[in-house]
A and B are shown apart, each in its own frame.
Chain A
Amino acid sequence: MASSPPQQQPPPPFAAQNLTAQGPVQVPPGSGAGALPGAFANLQISRGAAPPPGAPRGLTPQQAPPAFAARPGPPPAAARPAFPGSPPAPPFVRAPTAATSASPPFGGQPGLVSQPLPPFGGPPGAASQPPPSFGVPPGVVSQAPPPFGGPPAAVSQAPPPFGGPPATASQAPSPFVGHTVAASQAAPFGGPLVAGSHPPPFGGPPVAGSQPAVPPRPTFPGHSGPMAAAAAWTQPTPPSFGAPQQPPPPFGSRPVGQPPFATQSAPVAQQLPFMGPPRANAPAFGPPSWQAQGAGSGAMQPPMRMPGIPGSMQPNTLGPPGTPTIPYSPHAGTQVSTPSKIDPNQIPRPMPESSVIIYETRQGGQATIPPAASSEFIVKDTGNCSPRLMRCTVNQIPCTGDLLTTSGMPLALMVQPFSLPHPSEEPIQLVDFGEMGPIRCSRCKAYINPFMKFVDQGRHFICNLCGFRNDTPRDYMCNLGPDGRRRDADDRPELSRGTVEFVATKEFLVRDPMPAVYFFLIDVSMNAIQTGATAAACSAIAQAISDLPEGPRTMVGIATFDSAIHFYSLKRAQQQPLMLIVPDVQDVYTPLQTDLILPVSECRENLEQLLESIPNMFENNRVADSAFGAAMKAGFLAMKSTGGKLLVFQSVLPSLGVGSLSAREAEGRANITTGDKEAHKLLQPVDNTLKTMALEFAEYQVCVDVFLTTQSYVDIASISVVPQTTGGRVYYYYPFSALSDPAKLFNDLRWNISRPQGFEAVMRVRCSQGLQVQDYFGNFCKRVPTDIDLPAIDSDKTVMVTFKHDDKLPENVECGFQCALLYTTVYGQRRIRVINLSLSCTNLLANLFRCADLETQFACFLKQAANGIPTSPLPRIRDEATNTCINILQSYRKHCASVTSSGQLILPEALKLLPLYTLALVKSVGLRTDGRLDDHSYWISLVSSISVVLAVPLVFPRLIPIHDLISRDDDDSLVPSPLMLNSENVQEDGIYLLENGEDGLIYLGNMVNPATLEQIFGVSSLAALPVQLALDQFDNELSRKVNEVVNEIRRQRCSYLRLRLCRRGEPSGDFFRSFLIEDKAPGVFSYVEFLVHVHRQIQSKMT
């Protein structure tokens, strides 16, 4: 009955464009996880030598994980001694190992471990080691210069933190000097560091012990075991990042250099980013910036002074050294010391983790808490679905609505039904019940799942969602074993796996499953032609054709448009295509009933030739108008009988015909400057025309993706309605560059058609009684309250489902969620993908906080904010986002950490980064007051279907130095650890890549070494740099590395990134700096200020 469906191994999303794609692809030998399938490679990489076109796909299984699979799988054991599951090196033991051996990442710890150092690097360590601030044990340092090298450098030899090798070496010492200064200055603000002189701030072993529920997670690499455990599993691991009275500790405790990113053991990895000891991060990023600024004191100043802030009095409340212990009460969360004492180096920051975690979705009959979405993990589906497919904002469900309200947290699921699996994961099983169809609850129609309870010798089963007692169909009968489970449970995927797929029977079919239809619609108006957008689109399509699903059921069609719509009939063997123009753009129609859409096998050559000639054909086109809406409508009519994907390449503001738009931006700017409160209305669709159209498209299973290759305002607010309603998305290339954008356009298109996806889908989420679905958010069409229609659904799309209580949930029963997605595969099979999640219920607020899923919650906040932008003024949206953060923290403060001094900002461990992310959100493109309307609208459209894993980076980008990539071969992850997002990390002699999954900003300082420039860009001076960037690969180590890094990021993000050069003193440089969200910007808080603000708000609420 159960069979393993052909695993949908997605092809590489990104191939080099143009001919180069055909060329050999360079695959690093023995690349293993790090291998970059050729398709992923950058344009230039692919010029190397190797597999013939298409080879990457075929080869991947044996050779390297396929593009997506390529998430670095478990690396060779040698490289990662402490692979999860292989517990030989338990965390506590590891210290010595590290000390003696060369396991760099954790090597740093020995010092800490051997000395009962608290995570903050207790005084002893600091004292004993000359560069105490960085507290890195010598051993570690010497062996593995951490990427950010602060500490190691301090120690001595060590590769320099940021600078080029030579420079750094000489400079290395200075950071410490600086730091020392800082430290000494810090002193005035407070007593000895909290952490330093005290029992392990993280609660130490006892705390860990106090959490019996903690699954046997063996490792905690970076820190001494107890602490690690505490940090990870006791929610109240309150690392104070109080004033660094004792400079050493903060740095001493850190797991040194790259460890944060290099830790090997899986469980830990997931913890680390949110791990207790903030200073683990702090040193990593801190020192360099100090160094950069010379007098560190300057940098220190702002946060420390906060005149007038009530908190500034706080030092007193903290009292003398020693008081810091208070925070570490078992209930306490992460604590942030009072504003005046905030040390920018100790405030919570994410700690990337690169080791792979093995995650079993259930253990011991209970749901386990999934690893952070951003970490790398391998899921073993033991009853609950993979968190990639569906994850909840909280991993225990509050029994009552009141409890949920009190917590301030949202209750929502993020469902990403086609999310890419890790290559090592078992594929989703396909279950065929034959004519009987899948077993369902006869009352609520829920599908059979592991949580349906069979009783009465198996003759009945009780629905886990509605509680109804069903008769077991005769054919499905099976006896129960002594454990009360069906004896065949383990053999039946639908009874043992959280996710299965059922073969749909006739009752799920209203017609034959539709073929895979792709209709391309290309703007050929004057502007599109002249900017090269048309040529880019044609070339992208021509290359992407070969990535269409194979088989006779794959159909294609094409039309171009300006002020009229030009169809092409390709069914003319050996003949030129016929061009048929529909000139009436108010009342459109298709010129033919057949022959406009053909099996790709019948018209490939004709299509390719046509695509080649289109740019020439319209070379002298003087028609400036573009009938976008009408063209979509016409394309839709052509595919109405089947449904399918309509891929529209639009380059100018649609100015003609049905659904035409007008330039609202000028109006908008005027309004914004006059402070018009209605400015947000420009972010709403101008009218209902396109919406009505989109609803009709959706009804006939037509999904629209819009590629906007434009150099002007196109009113995305209005345009995006169509993709959003039909399960598509907007791609935005602004300002379009014929030099640098075609590669991205091609890769985006290629990924669009080759990623895992389904058609004519209907999705419904069911849940246990007591809860009900409140709403769905995402790109779909909703006609009835319970279901959403998705003309297409793909691996990138996430649907948020919010819930509300309509009753109390019993505490001793689990709350079930089931998402059922009925869809048609690209090969024309009708399937039902059923995704189950069953979570325990709780009456304890503390549990809620402990099980909170920060990234999921944040994705939820992000979507809610984006959703509100078109209907509320931006300041209100920002306030709401901030208030959400404050409310949650205040709830925690009030109900779970009330013992602690009111003078401290206490953060629940799981939500430690909430303020940082909230600040990032408030400063994000979408919520900024400045910026172009289209940028806002695009951002909103992007967010509406964004996945959890991409939500955080969108507003909280990665900042990576790339000028010194060669010098940090210590790191076994391709992408070096990111720097904290503040300008102190940006040196004028450096080159940095800042990426958010969409854009890749390459920032060049003004004093970049010409040699480095030459290596990366092939030019010898800043002046010689091109305005538009196409990142070529040159024959040198650095260039190779840079390309590797970029390609790795592309792979991780499933996005090609728009690379842009940013220069100091130019608008591009300012743009870059606007992403440094820790910085203070005009009218907006710096990170430290924001913490202070949050703290004050909480305090004022408490009183």
Chain B
Amino acid sequence: MSEFLDLETQDGIRMTWNVIPGTKQDATNCVVPVSAIYTPLKPNPSIPVLPYAPLRCRMCRSILNPFSVVDFVAKIWVCPFCFQRNHFPQHYNSISENNLPAELFPQYTTVEYKSTSETGPVAPPVFLFVVDTCMIEEEIGYLKSALAQAIELLPDQSLVGFITFGTYVQVHELGFGLLPKSYVFKGTKEVTKEQILDQMSFFAGKTKPTTGVIAGARNGLSAESIARFLLPASECEFVLNSVIEELQKDPWPVPADKRPSRCTGVALSVAASLLGVCVPGSGARIMAFVGGPSTEGLGSIVSKSLSEPIRSHKDLNKGSAPLYNKAVKFYEDISKQLVNQGHVLDLFACALDQVGVAEMKVAVERTGGIVVLAESFGHSVFKDSLRRFFQSSDNDLDLSFNGIFEINCSKDVKIQGIIGPCTSLEKKSPLSSDTVVGQGNTNAWKMCGLDRKTSLCLVFDIAKKDGPDSVGVGQSASNQFYFQFLTYYQHHEGQMRLRATTLSRRWVAGSGGVQELIDGFDQEAAAAVMARLVSFKMEAEVSNNSPDETAYFTMMLNTENVSNAVVMIQPSLISYSFQSGPEPVLLDVTAIAADRILLLDSYFTVVIFHGITIAQWRKAGYQYQEGHESFAQLLQAPQEEADAIIKERFPVPRLVVCDQYGSQARFLLAKLNPSVSYDNPPAPGGDVIFTDDVSFQVFMDHLQRLAVH
């Protein structure tokens, strides 16, 4: 197990099968597909950053790597993927066994290239805020203060834009110093890029070119006209602050029996078009803050009438959610536009009600956006997540832009697709499998937004047939497979980078290799991969959640690394008591004891659960009294652990501190195996879960019976 973790630490990758089944048939028999969860930007201080451009194979364009065979005399290297012999260029002349370039060091299977000559000038990141105003005053207040804080954390050089929406969409012209000024678009009507160009005076005083692509400062727009809407954060702080300060509830009246008219879809469309006009191809993100369901115009998910409820999974299954498909189609179009422009959509959905995450999912996920779902803009899940979003510290997200992810691999392995935050670039190659899972049909993907945690699930197809050449034919006698993952991206500091990870795995074929296969099986990775596959294939079959929540969980699952995905699937439960140090305990109701503190991490929620005795002591204030330092420490320990979890996780999980028998205790109980229920009285000091759900034991018994039959 630990070796898998070591491999992950070095290259950011976990594979279901670290020894690969050698034939298609073998792979099929393995049930769990050959796949990998790869975290392209996983931070690792030992990864070298090379200030020059990579050397590429002139045949397959793969990059020189430690697995390349090098002829130091002839100054030739052999590509491990296509076996092409490549000459080193002039500046590699001094290469020798004792003088290797970093990319050939065996331990540097992952390297990063940072070369301005290859990647162009530094472009500042762009943040376009899109803020809902159809909320009660209280929520607006929360949102305002959160935004005001966020603004202070914006990197100075980054460009900022601001859009508000409600019944109408308002694009604030931050560059206009004299008055607060904004362009107002109707919420019922889509706005095209062309209209943005025409209607927002991008060609004032100039004639508009009649042909050609018009977009951005490089393609026909003046920097001044762009600077009206997107300004360096350092230059518009005052204006931005006053705009936020003056945010008000959408002024259009709402009848008592109606939902407010909220044109989320059109607002996002306007935002996308504005970015498309101003900064196409340059890293930019739309940060949408949505406080309720979209009811107006394209992308609306429910009618204004309160008598009509928001769609549920049941409605979706029955096909009785009339707006759903239209809205999804609309957001698909937006996602295409954004991907085309290289821009990200982030969604901060904070409402008790659903806001349409399910519909917007496609746009968020395909652009690699971040999604945060909370009940209120006043909730710490939102507030802390937003702060984390911009925070520059060890734990920051390293938000990066405009990624392109490419795969090279040895013959006989094909790629079915990727499940995760990216979009297929539809570059079909011999490597792409005919069987498609997720984003497929390609060997290159767009990742408009990615961060240090973004993890892709790559699903491979073993194409090699059984037969005479099944083992050790030709060059592949070495039984090695090679993979090379290339990630081009705009680093959060602005410059473009390329991270190259090259891997080698062994394959085995036939029955003799079973044990090897089993040894190479990564159970956790398999769980994470299977979870993604299942959620991808059976999305609608969910109960107990709203479509928005399901979409949220799915998106989080699809972007998390293996260990976090495992926590989502099976929460961890740690017990703290005077009797022993912190120890993991079974996720079972029997774990509860009066003198224990339990720490539950279910990914989205972290619960600190004080047994009843502990709770009474705490209420009595013993922790403050002399002679009870150990109690204070006991109280402190789970808190510190929780802080550590919260600190490294994004979105920030909800922290619940509760006491046994308290109402908040449900956050723990809901996750526990109901081995003790009302028909099965508990031990003293234990607890009971009032549920009709079967316990794990009952489930396992049932499963065994099925397996035997």
Q: A-side interface residues toward B, CB under 8 Å?
A: 526, 562-564, 566-568, 575-585, 587, 589, 591-595, 613, 616-617, 621-624
Q: How far is the CB of B296 from chain A (nearest CB, A)?
A: 13
Please tell me if the beta carbons of B180 and A563 are within 8 angstroms of each other in the complex.
no
- Given the interface pairs A564-B183, A583-B183, A584-B186, the reply to whether A591 lies near B168 with Cβ below 8 Å is yes
Interface residue from A581, A582, A587 paired with B181 (Cβ < 8 Å): A581
Please tell me if the beta carbons of A584 and B199 are within 8 angstroms of each other in the complex.
yes
Interface residue from A585, A589, A593 paired with B186 (Cβ < 8 Å): A589
B20-28, B200-208, B488-496, B602-610: which lies at the interface: B200-208
Chain A residues, CB < 8 A from B200: 564, 583
**How far is B168's CA from A589's CA once the two chains are assembled, in angstroms?**
10
Chain B residues, CB < 8 A from A623: 201, 204-205
Q: Which residue of B lies closest to A618 (CB)?
A: B178
Q: B-side interface residues toward A, CB under 8 Å?
A: 168, 170, 173, 176, 178-186, 189, 195, 198-201, 204-206, 246, 251-253
Q: What are 13 residue pairs bridging A and B, where the CB atoms are less than 8 Å apart in the complex?
A: A563-B201, A563-B204, A564-B183, A575-B246, A577-B179, A580-B184, A581-B173, A583-B183, A584-B186, A584-B195, A584-B199, A587-B186, A622-B205
- Given the interface pairs A526-B205, A622-B204, A623-B205, the reply to whether A579 lies near B182 with Cβ below 8 Å is yes
Please tell me if the beta carbons of A593 and B251 are within 8 angstroms of each other in the complex.
yes
Q: How far is the CB of B65 from chain A (nearest CB, A)?
A: 53
Q: Which residue of B lies closest to A525 (CB)?
A: B204
Q: How far is the CB of A318 from chain B (nearest CB, A)?
A: 74
**How far is B206's CA from A474's CA once the two chains are assembled, in angstroms?**
77
Interface residue from B168, B178, B199 paired with A564 (Cβ < 8 Å): B199
Q: How far is the CB of A587 from chain B (nearest CB, A)?
A: 7
| 13 further A-B pairs in the complex, CB-CB below 8 A; given A576-B179, A579-B182, A583-B200 | A562-B201, A564-B183, A564-B199, A567-B184, A578-B179, A578-B182, A581-B173, A581-B184, A583-B184, A583-B195, A591-B170, A595-B251, A613-B179
Interface residue from B180, B182, B199, B201 paired with A576 (Cβ < 8 Å): B180
Chain A residues, CB < 8 A from B201: 562-564, 623
**How far is B184's CA from A562's CA once the two chains are assembled, in angstroms?**
15
Please tell me if the beta carbons of B252 and A593 are within 8 angstroms of each other in the complex.
yes
Chain A residues, CB < 8 A from B252: 592-593
Q: How far is the CB of A592 from chain B (nearest CB, A)?
A: 6
- Given the interface pairs A564-B199, A616-B178, A617-B178, the reply to whether A584 lies near B185 with Cβ below 8 Å is yes
Q: Which residue of A lies closest to B167 (CB)?
A: A593
- Given the interface pairs A623-B201, A624-B205, the reply to whether A613 lies near B178 with Cβ below 8 Å is yes
Chain B contact residues: helix, strand, loop or mixed: loop
**How far is B253's CA from A623's CA once the two chains are assembled, in angstroms?**
34
Interface residue from A583, A589, A593 paired with B199 (Cβ < 8 Å): A583
Q: How far is the CB of A1094 from chain B (nearest CB, A)?
A: 58
Interface residue from A584, A592, A595, A624 paired with B189 (Cβ < 8 Å): A584
Chain B residues, CB < 8 A from A578: 179-182, 246
Centre residue among A562, A585, A595, A617 by max chain B CB count within 10 A: A617
Q: How far is the CB of A517 from chain B (nearest CB, A)?
A: 19
Q: Which residue of B lies closest to A568 (CB)?
A: B179
**How far is B224's CA from A606's CA once the two chains are assembled, in angstroms?**
29
Please tell me if the beta carbons of A587 and B205 are within 8 angstroms of each other in the complex.
no
A to B contact number (C-beta, < 8 Å):
79
Q: Which residue of B lies closest to A616 (CB)?
A: B178
Q: Which residue of B lies closest to A576 (CB)?
A: B179
Closest 3 CB pairs of A and B: A622-B205, A583-B199, A591-B184
Chain A residues, CB < 8 A from B180: 576, 578-579
Centre residue among A568, A595, A622 by max chain B CB count within 10 A: A622
Please tell me if the beta carbons of B184 and A582 are within 8 angstroms of each other in the complex.
yes
Q: How far is the CB of A606 from chain B (nearest CB, A)?
A: 11
Q: Which residue of A lies closest to B252 (CB)?
A: A593
Chain B residues, CB < 8 A from A592: 251-252
Q: Which residue of B lies closest to A583 (CB)?
A: B199
Chain A residues, CB < 8 A from B181: 566, 578-581
Q: How far is the CB of A680 from chain B (nearest CB, A)?
A: 35
**How far is B253's CA from A478's CA once the two chains are assembled, in angstroms?**
55
Chain B residues, CB < 8 A from A566: 181
Chain A residues, CB < 8 A from B195: 583-584
Centre residue among B179, B185, B189, B205 by max chain A CB count within 10 A: B179
Chain A residues, CB < 8 A from B185: 583-584
Please tell me if the beta carbons of A622 and B179 are within 8 angstroms of each other in the complex.
no
**How far is B176's CA from A577's CA once the two chains are assembled, in angstroms?**
13
**How far is B189's CA from A576's CA once the two chains are assembled, in angstroms?**
30
Chain A residues, CB < 8 A from B170: 580, 591
Chain A residues, CB < 8 A from B189: 584, 587
Q: Which residue of A lies closest to B178 (CB)?
A: A617
Chain A residues, CB < 8 A from B204: 563, 621-623
- Given the interface pairs A578-B179, A578-B180, A584-B195, the reply to whether A593 lies near B205 with Cβ below 8 Å is no
Q: Which residue of B lies closest to A623 (CB)?
A: B204
Q: Which residue of B lies closest to A592 (CB)?
A: B251
Chain B residues, CB < 8 A from A563: 198-199, 201, 204
Q: Which residue of B lies closest to A582 (CB)?
A: B184
**How far is B201's CA from A621's CA once the two chains are assembled, in angstroms?**
10
Q: How far is the CB of A11 from chain B (nearest CB, A)?
A: 33
**How far is B189's CA from A622's CA once the two chains are assembled, in angstroms?**
28
Chain B residues, CB < 8 A from A584: 185-186, 189, 195, 199
**How far is B246's CA from A261's CA once the two chains are assembled, in angstroms?**
67
Interface residue from A564, A589, A617, A621 paired with B179 (Cβ < 8 Å): A617
Interface residue from B173, B176, B198, B253 paired with A593 (Cβ < 8 Å): B253
Centre residue among A579, A594, A617, A622 by max chain B CB count within 10 A: A579
Q: How far is the CB of B384 from chain A (nearest CB, A)?
A: 32
Please tell me if the beta carbons of B183 and A581 are within 8 angstroms of each other in the complex.
yes
- Given the interface pairs A583-B183, A621-B204, the reply to whether A594 lies near B199 with Cβ below 8 Å is no
Q: How far is the CB of A635 from chain B (nearest CB, A)?
A: 15
**How far is B278's CA from A297's CA once the two chains are assembled, in angstroms?**
81
Q: How far is the CB of A649 from chain B (nearest CB, A)?
A: 20
**How far is B179's CA from A624's CA once the two chains are assembled, in angstroms?**
22
Chain B residues, CB < 8 A from A621: 204
Q: Which residue of B lies closest to A595 (CB)?
A: B251
Chain A residues, CB < 8 A from B178: 576, 613, 616-617
Q: How far is the CB of B174 from chain A (nearest CB, A)?
A: 13
- Given the interface pairs A592-B251, A623-B204, the reply to whether A581 lies near B182 with Cβ below 8 Å is yes
**How far is B184's CA from A587's CA once the two chains are assembled, in angstroms?**
12
**How far is B177's CA from A616's CA once the two chains are assembled, in angstroms?**
12
Chain A residues, CB < 8 A from B246: 575, 578
**How far is B176's CA from A568's CA once the two chains are assembled, in angstroms?**
14
Centre residue among A577, A580, A595 by max chain B CB count within 10 A: A580
**How far is B179's CA from A613's CA once the two chains are assembled, in angstroms?**
10
Chain B residues, CB < 8 A from A581: 173, 181-184
Q: How far is the CB of A64 from chain B (nearest CB, A)?
A: 43
Q: How far is the CB of B571 from chain A (nearest CB, A)?
A: 49
Centre residue among A567, A583, A624 by max chain B CB count within 10 A: A583
Chain B residues, CB < 8 A from A594: 251
Q: How far is the CB of A1012 from chain B (nearest CB, A)?
A: 48
**How far is B195's CA from A613's CA once the two chains are assembled, in angstroms?**
29
**How far is B199's CA from A589's CA once the two chains are assembled, in angstroms?**
14
**How far is B205's CA from A585's CA once the two chains are assembled, in angstroms?**
18
Please tell me if the beta carbons of B179 and A579 are within 8 angstroms of each other in the complex.
yes
Q: How far is the CB of A1065 from chain B (nearest CB, A)?
A: 40
Q: Which residue of B lies closest to A566 (CB)?
A: B181
Q: Which residue of B lies closest to A572 (CB)?
A: B246
**How far is B206's CA from A304's CA once the two chains are assembled, in angstroms?**
65
Q: How far is the CB of A488 from chain B (nearest CB, A)?
A: 53
**How far is B206's CA from A592's CA once the two chains are assembled, in angstroms?**
31
Chain B residues, CB < 8 A from A577: 179
**How far is B195's CA from A587's CA once the two chains are assembled, in angstroms?**
12
**How far is B182's CA from A189's CA once the two chains are assembled, in angstroms?**
81
**How far is B204's CA from A579's CA once the two chains are assembled, in angstroms?**
19
Centre residue among B176, B184, B185, B186 by max chain A CB count within 10 A: B184
**How far is B184's CA from A568's CA once the two chains are assembled, in angstroms?**
12
**How far is B177's CA from A579's CA once the two chains are assembled, in angstroms?**
12
